[in-house]
Amino acid sequence: MPGAQSLAQQLAAKQREISVAEFFERNRQILGFDNPLRAVLTTVKEAVDNALDACEEARVLPEILVEISKEGPDRLKVAVGDNGPGIVKKQIPNVFARLLYGSRFHANRQSRGQQGIGISAAVLYAALTTARPTRITSKVPEEEAAHVVELLIDTQKNAPRVLSDELELWDRPQGTRVELVLKARYTRGRQSPFDYLKNTAIVNPHARIVLLEPDGTRITWERATTEVPPVPKEVPPHPYGLELGELGSRLKASSRATLGETLSKEFAGVTPRALRDIFARGHFSGKEAPDSLHSEDLERLLAVLHEVPLLPPSAESLSPIGPLLIKRGLRNVLGEIRPEFFAPPVSRPPKVRGGNPFVVEIGLVYGGGLPADQPMQLLRFANRVPLLFQQGACAITTAVGNLDWRRYGLDQKGGSGLPIGPCLLLVHLASTKVPFTSEAKEAVAEDPEIDKELTLSLQVVARHLRTHLSRRSRRDMAGEKFLIIQRILPQLAEKASRLAGKPVPDLTAVITKIMDVVAFEATAVAAANAGESALALEVTNYTPRPRVLELFLEMPLEAAASLHAEPAPDGTDAELGRAWWTLEKLPPSGRVKLLLRFPKAQEVEPGDLDWFVAGVDEAHLLGAEPLPGDWEVRLPRAIVEAAEGSGAEAAMSEGEPEVDYDGAEAHASLDEE
């Protein structure tokens, strides 16, 4: 059929390859440039992410300046500068004007940017909407002057088009500044550059960030620490989580001579002992060429790789925030809210998905100025970058909503969805390859391994919240009871004494008998040394009999290593963050005080300390908890025997263990911390 053949030839003549730049030019919404409000946020985000990555790799404390100014109707000029190491002249055009160009995509380590799309997409959008070139100023320490380059992207070739290249004296020893003019609108509020930078400051407390808004307002987020995060190291992929196709591709791409060399040198966690076990179970000699395995051999190898015990993934390729800096970041940015409770942040050991390690971190604050009649404020982060859009499509939101927060003291309609209450939850996922739902990197895709870690971490932090709310409730009830007794009994005693013509009796013993609790009150006090912070624990025996108290303290690990206490504890365990005392016999109405001192930089507060008591029933404790059963196997035997001798055995064994994710007990997940 000549006509059909002619038509096919015509269609074939029209077919041509399109560049990635052309594709994103026509599908800019994929990268977050779908409207003027979002365009300015995406531009700021991509430039700031690049600046933070560059500063951290150069071991420099980041100084980020973001300037947004009006350039006409619906036009904004966005300029982002940093004090990083700068970019050498020949790389400037490729870094800013070539999509899918970068140094991090093939590096198996954590970084904010990976695909080499973000800042180039901003340059593309700016040229598309205003026809204005992007101006880059960059200086490296070895050169006297800065290079100033103006450029565009040739979308058909996905290549930079340099319009000018000049030298200019700059008042900075090093750094980079990028300026773009684009069609955009600026507002402050949720999902704005202001919101993004505020959240960025929380999870990057080592950075100082300044924002100049179009109306001239200057906002500064000062750094909360002077420690630069360690640079993540490149590590080989871990066999756990690899799919069959991925394993085959890696073996074919290997330059090693044998299968044994490939598994031991190009995969993490494979020890010589594990290698022998793999070969024995899979019936391999280890001398096979890695690219010679096909079909059944690959399936057999993958099966034994998932069965054989391997070393856990290394955390060297990751840069988690860490519990202390999560707390500092939240306190630094949310200081005006002054929450009543900071839950001890959770940072779990690394796990593996798809051969790539990942870590889940969670921080929670409660009360203070947070709204009590609105849903929990959820802050989502991936590799220290805020996720501001597509909250409902994110695996983090799903995990939070699937947890039954009613068990932990918050209102939640139907036991699903974000709970209601004065609560802010920070969730951070750090990974060498975060599974985003799209190139815009706005939501984390569903994954069984990530979901399991999120659930376990949420349960741990939720238990801390439940403990706080339970303690507060008991403390408030006891406080009200105590105030009523102190107000009414003296009045009754005074009237009765006046009628009987006798002096007013001392009511201390009566009040003690009615209260029948041992009260623990931790407060911050003035420290004698300016470089320290001090906390005091006051213990009062409001019971009718003398008591010898075995007192136990659990605290953040960094605090345990620097604890100074008066009186000194009977013992400490810095690795577990624990200390314990045997208090002298307290008579009824007797009182004793402990003074704890920590370095001021650690910012330890009363809410960071958990107090436990052996030998006293929960009904007679106020401000402390009975000694948990899981301490028994970790404390020195003498302490355990002393606790058992004072009647703690019953207190330590009462109560059923809480069932955790996948049937695991709650204590198991706590022990993994």
> In the chain, what are the domain boundaries?
20-216, 244-312, 340-467, 506-671
* Residue with the larger pLDDT of the pair 311 and 360: 360
- Beta-bridged to residue 565, according to DSSP, are 596
Q: What's the mean pLDDT in 495-510?
A: 81
- Beta-bridged to residue 411, according to DSSP, are 420
Residue 510 CB neighbour total at 10 angstroms: 14
pLDDT at 664: 38
* Residue with the larger pLDDT of the pair 45 and 237: 45
Q: What pLDDT band is residue 337 in, cutting at 50, 70 and 90?
A: confident
pLDDT at 581: 92
Rounded to an integer, what distance in angstroms lies between the CA atom of residue 495 and that of residue 625? 39
- 217 neighbors 42 (Cβ within 8 angstroms): no
> Residues 292-317: pLDDT tens digits?
888 888 888 988 888 888 887 777 78
Look at residue 26 and tell me whether its pLDDT is greater than 70: no
- Rounded to 5 degrees, what angle do the CA atoms 561, 563, 569 make? 110
Same CATH topology for 244-312 and 340-467: the answer is: no
- Region class of 30: left (phi > 0), else alpha (psi between -120 and 50), else beta: alpha
pLDDT at 15: 60
Q: Where are the beta strands (DSSP E) in 19-131?
A: 63-72, 75-82
Helix, strand, or coil (residue 424): strand
> Residues 70-82: pLDDT tens digits?
988 889 999 999 9
> Residues 85-135: pLDDT tens digits?
999 998 898 888 887 655 454 456 677 755 446 788 888 888 888 889 999
Burial (CB count within 10 angstroms: exposed 0-12, middle 13-18, buried 19+), residue 664 = middle
* Residue with the larger pLDDT of the pair 577 and 592: 592
- 50 neighbors 66 (Cβ within 8 angstroms): no
Which residue has 């995406």 as its token pair?
Answer: 42
Q: Which pTM does this prediction carry?
A: 0.72
* Residue with the larger pLDDT of the pair 407 and 316: 407
Rounded to an integer, what distance in angstroms lies between the CA atom of residue 148 and that of residue 159? 18
Cis peptide before 36 (omega within 30 of 0): no
Q: What's the mean pLDDT in 30-46?
A: 81
Look at residue 649 and tell me whether its pLDDT is greater than 60: no
Q: What's the mean pLDDT in 396-409?
A: 94
Domain 20-216 has CATH 1.10.490.10: no
* CA proximity to 622, closest of 534, 485, 483, 522: 522
* CA proximity to 367, closest of 331, 400, 333, 342: 342
pLDDT at 542: 83
Q: What is the CA radius of gyration of the chain?
A: 31
- 369 neighbors 403 (Cβ within 8 angstroms): no
pLDDT at 669: 37
pLDDT at 399: 95
Look at residue 401 and tell me whether its pLDDT is greater than 80: yes
> Residues 157-216: pLDDT tens digits?
778 889 999 999 998 899 999 999 998 889 888 889 999 999 999 999 999 999 999 999
- 457 neighbors 348 (Cβ within 8 angstroms): yes
Helix, strand, or coil (residue 202): helix
- Give domain 340-467's CATH number out of 3.40.50.300, 3.40.50.880, 3.30.230.10, 3.40.640.10: 3.30.230.10
* Of the candidate ranges 52-61, 87-96, 553-562, the one whose mean pLDDT is the lowest: 553-562
- Whole-number mean pLDDT of the chain? 82
Token digits for 87? 């970019």
* CA proximity to 262, closest of 251, 271, 277: 251
pLDDT at 235: 78
> Residues 594-628: pLDDT tens digits?
999 998 877 788 877 888 898 787 778 888 888 87
Per-residue CA distances from 166 to 47, 93, 169, 234 (Å): 22, 13, 10, 36
Burial (CB count within 10 angstroms: exposed 0-12, middle 13-18, buried 19+), residue 180 = buried
Which residue has 């406080």 as its token pair?
Answer: 479
* Residue with the larger pLDDT of the pair 242 and 96: 96
* Residue with the larger pLDDT of the pair 233 and 4: 233
* CA proximity to 271, closest of 313, 216, 310, 215: 310
506-671 sits in which CATH class? Answer: mainly beta
Look at residue 20 and tell me whether its pLDDT is greater than 80: no
CATH architecture assigned to 244-312: Orthogonal Bundle (1.10)
* Of the candidate ranges 214-218, 500-504, 577-581, the one whose mean pLDDT is the lowest: 500-504
Per-residue CA distances from 187 to 221, 453, 541 (Å): 19, 36, 57
Q: What pLDDT band is residue 28 in, cutting at 50, 70 and 90?
A: low
Q: What pLDDT band is residue 376 in, cutting at 50, 70 and 90?
A: very high
* Residue with the larger pLDDT of the pair 646 and 179: 179
Q: What pLDDT band is residue 68 in, cutting at 50, 70 and 90?
A: very high
